[in-house]
Structure 1
Amino acid sequence: MIQLSLDQVRPWFTKDHENRLQSLAQFAYRQLLDGQVDAFGKGWLSWPVDDHAELYADIDKISDQLTKVSDVTVVIGIGGSYLGARSVLSMVYPEFVDQGKHQVIFAGQQLSGTYHAHLLKYLDNHEVSLVVVSKSGTTLEPSAIFHTFRAYLEQRYGNEAASRICAITDAQKGTLRQYALEKGYATLPIPDDIGGRYSVLSAVGLLPMALAGIDYRQVMAGAAEVKQRYDNLDVADNPSVQYALARHVLYQQGFAAEALVTYEPRVADFAGWWQQLFGESQGKDGIGLFPTMLQFSTDLHSMGQYVQDARKMLVETVLDVEIADAPELVVPQGLDEKNAYLEGRTYDSLREVAIESVIKAHSDAGVPNIRINASGEAASLYGELVYFFEIACAFGGYLLGTNPFDQPGVEAYKTEMKVRLQK
């Protein structure tokens, strides 16, 4: 369940703002739901409730195949091809908890030779399979790393290597698609009408979930629940829309950046997925809030001073996640006199006091604070959060007058890199 609180942002986002923006909000929402507008990027809208029986069967078959021959799968991708999958694994399997019976490791998200060399050495002591995620197969980072690891598997396993590799790529065309067909790899499709940053609920994220032992059907059920619930709400009552409207008004008032604040370490990677979603979708045409992340209470002891007292350019969106399987921990008895007031308190209660205190201090200092409370089972809650923010992001893009599904700026550096490398 997701609940939105705008109480601490009302000095900047008033009911009068909401009323005046209703016509714009209605227009932007119609743009979002209109299948003829930017149709190439809207497949995710109905995706959670579409029939995926055939896809699920293929995912289960490939997952079973790879887990039978290996105890580690390396998933190679960058941007939306890995951020979503990594974030769901982190949310379901927190630190110090094994990832089911099968380990999933991510590679190809950067060009560190040291990282990948150490990973290859680590793999020498494991049985290995490989999943490469790329719609075109020509993005430099995953292409270089994929062929490095593909060669490693071929050296270790010979002709058997092909049965240990799956390519998640374009269903009909592209360099990786052709290469996979020639090599005899298993393949899964990336839908034509779903861009990378919106693709975590497609095979891009679902296969890594299945490999890690996560019930991906529960993830999809969480997203479907939010879609069905919000479909029946008026724009004025839709929490995703209200969140987007609040950040839109704050941007118009001169705020330049939005920090997604998390208090639970297992949600930090989700903030990374959120950052790409909003950065690529709304950061164009010289406009858009700069999306960043803060992990409290850790960062309160490094960035808290800046947030409290520096230039007032930052909006904080506090994402308070309570996962149902989280154990309860209590501060023990026998504390020293100055810390005795902590005795018997649960960590949940300490976190709640921290959240309320920080929101009060920062908002009093002129930093707008939006609060989003999310609670439930990890897998279904992840799906809920993904769909909540995808709606808010795409709708917010239309409020700004931008196309929330393209990323023309990304191509500039890729083109320059290829020119330099091909000299």
Structure 2
Amino acid sequence: MQYSKSFYQIKSSQTIFNYVKDEIEQIGYYSLPFQDTTKIKEYAKKVSKKHIAIVGIGGSTLGTFAIYQFLKRTSEFDKKLHFFETTDPTDIKQRLKKLDLEDTLFLIISKSGTTIETISIFKYLSSLIKMSNENCTIISENDSKLTAFANKHKMTTFDIPKNVGGRFSVFSTVGLVPLAILGVDIDNLLKGAKEVHNSFFEQKEYYDIIMEKARFMVENKNRFNINVVFSYSASLEGFNKWYIQLWGESLGKININGTKQALTPIGLIGPVDQHSFLQLIAEGKRDKTVTFIKVADFQDETKIPANTLEGFDDLDYVDNLTFAKLIDEQANATIKSLKELGDIPHDVITINRVDEFNIAKLMYNYQLLTSVVGKFVQINTYNQPGVESGKKILKAKLKDKG
């Protein structure tokens, strides 16, 4: 008797690990930490313009914005990044007010080279200032229409590898070029990603962390199908948005036996969302796992002064406390409150300090976690067919304007 099957089944951790290893040759993001950055750094040194306008959407901007937002509060950058992502006309005009067009480098980023939002904004910007090799650089696939346009006009181009999907592209030229121009140490960034990569594939610390977390999520996905990231730093708001795209677009799929998978991502910022969403977590339906992300070293010693307000003696216990200590204790108190409830799965990630190395570790960890969960539930983690249908409908409607 012979027997074969194609239906969904939760595999062993070792089997899943082998599946992920088998992807390395086909899925390009795995090798990005080991790339040569010489060309990018040489180009970045030549950029003298103070304003860098990034025109792109989704995976072309979210990862870069996440790193920029995380680092800019503790770094002294002499250039500024501006993100043109939406076709909202009021947003475009507001962002243009912050630019000196003559002192702006435009980075046009689109993997396909035909992203409607990106090309529409590019067309509009081209009506305001002449785009040339002096003020415009293209980041796209090497055979896209956008790259062909750049070559025709002798503009600098950087390739996005065909086997690197947009939401996994932050450590490719998509993120490295604008970040290097800004002054970010991109080698230290890749060093952080590399540490997580090596630890995972050598089945050391990050292998255990990622595999255990992925297995719990998959084995309990019907009960806990909502995954909350609760970040205790305003500088991680960009990371939260990046995580939501990575998690939602990668894992909202139909698996091998036709079952719709749904691990829904939510991004919260502490302590702000303690005053809103925390109530739902604490006393609402038990359908959520929570990951707290804390920063151990904010590199800021700003203190809450004493004796500056009359009539608040009952709050003198915060006097002379640093804000960094206060937000850490707010996180700890929230974590303890959930722990005492006893029925809300949660874990804690602590970022050692605010730098390139540590944000890269966090982001690469989440990329690997996404790939592992995708293998467990037996889906194609790297496509997005649910998004494509809407694009086709929009294109047809716009073509039929008459």
TM value normalised by structure 2: 0.89
Q: Displacement, 1:228?
A: 1.9
- In the alignment, which residue of structure 2 is the partner of 1:85? 64
Specify the code of the residue in structure 1 equivalent to 2:302: L
Q: How does 1:285-296 map to 2 (within 5 A)?
A: 285=254, 286-296=260-270
Give 1:322's match in structure 2, choosing from 296, 303, 309. 296
Q: How has the CA–CA distance of structure 1 residues 99 and 116 changed in structure 2, closer, same or farther, with 3 Å as cutoff?
A: farther
- In the alignment, which residue of structure 1 is the partner of 2:28? 43
Q: Does 1:283 align with 2:252?
A: yes
Which aligned segments of 4 or more residues in structure 1 are displaced greater than 6 angstroms?
A: none
The C-alpha deviation readout for 1:65-100, integer Å capped at 9, x for no partner, is 3x32x2211001111100000011111112xx6761
Q: Does 1:28 align with 2:16?
A: yes
Q: Displacement, 1:117?
A: 2.0
- SS of the equivalent of 2:396 reads helix
Query: In the aligned structure 2, how far is the partner of 1:333 from the partner of 1:150?
Result: 54
- Give the RMSD, CA atoms, in angstroms: 2.2
Q: Does 1:297 align with 2:282?
A: no
Q: Displacement, 1:274?
A: 1.1
- In the alignment, which residue of structure 1 is the partner of 2:368? 391
Q: How does 1:79-158 map to 2 (within 5 A)?
A: 79-94=58-73, 100-107=77-84, 109-124=85-100, 127-154=103-130
Specify the code of the residue in structure 2 equivalent to 1:120: L
- In the alignment, which residue of structure 1 is the partner of 2:5? none
Q: How has the CA–CA distance of structure 1 residues 352 and 236 changed in structure 2, closer, same or farther, with 3 Å as cutoff?
A: closer
Given that 2:70 and 2:354 are in contact with CA atoms closer than 8 Å, whether structure 1 keeps it comes out as: no
The C-alpha deviation readout for 1:125-182, integer Å capped at 9, x for no partner, is 751110011111111111101121133221xxxxx733211000112x1211111111
Specify the code of the residue in structure 2 equivalent to 1:93: K
- SS of the equivalent of 2:220 reads helix
Specify the code of the residue in structure 1 equivalent to 2:21: L
Q: Does 1:400 align with 2:377?
A: yes
- In the alignment, which residue of structure 2 is the partner of 1:161? 132
Query: In the aligned structure 1, how far is the partner of 2:52 from the partner of 2:376?
Result: 41
Q: Displacement, 1:416?
A: 0.6
- SS of the equivalent of 1:403 reads coil
Q: Displacement, 1:376?
A: 3.3
Specify the code of the residue in structure 2 equivalent to 1:289: L
Seq. identity, %: 25
The C-alpha deviation readout for 1:299-341, integer Å capped at 9, x for no partner, is 1112222222222222211111234x62123333337321122
Query: In the aligned structure 1, how far is the partner of 2:314 from the partner of 2:206?
Result: 49
Given that 1:25 and 1:235 are in contact with CA atoms closer than 8 Å, whether structure 2 keeps it comes out as: no
Query: In the aligned structure 2, how far is the partner of 1:188 from the partner of 1:73?
Result: 16
- Give the unaligned 5+ runs of structure 2: 1-8, 255-259
Q: Displacement, 1:244?
A: 1.7
TM value normalised by structure 1: 0.85
Q: Displacement, 1:268?
A: 1.2
Q: Displacement, 1:63?
A: 2.2
- In the alignment, which residue of structure 2 is the partner of 1:15? none
Given that 2:199 and 2:206 are in contact with CA atoms closer than 8 Å, whether structure 1 keeps it comes out as: no
- SS of the equivalent of 1:317 reads strand
Q: How has the CA–CA distance of structure 1 residues 367 and 381 changed in structure 2, closer, same or farther, with 3 Å as cutoff?
A: same
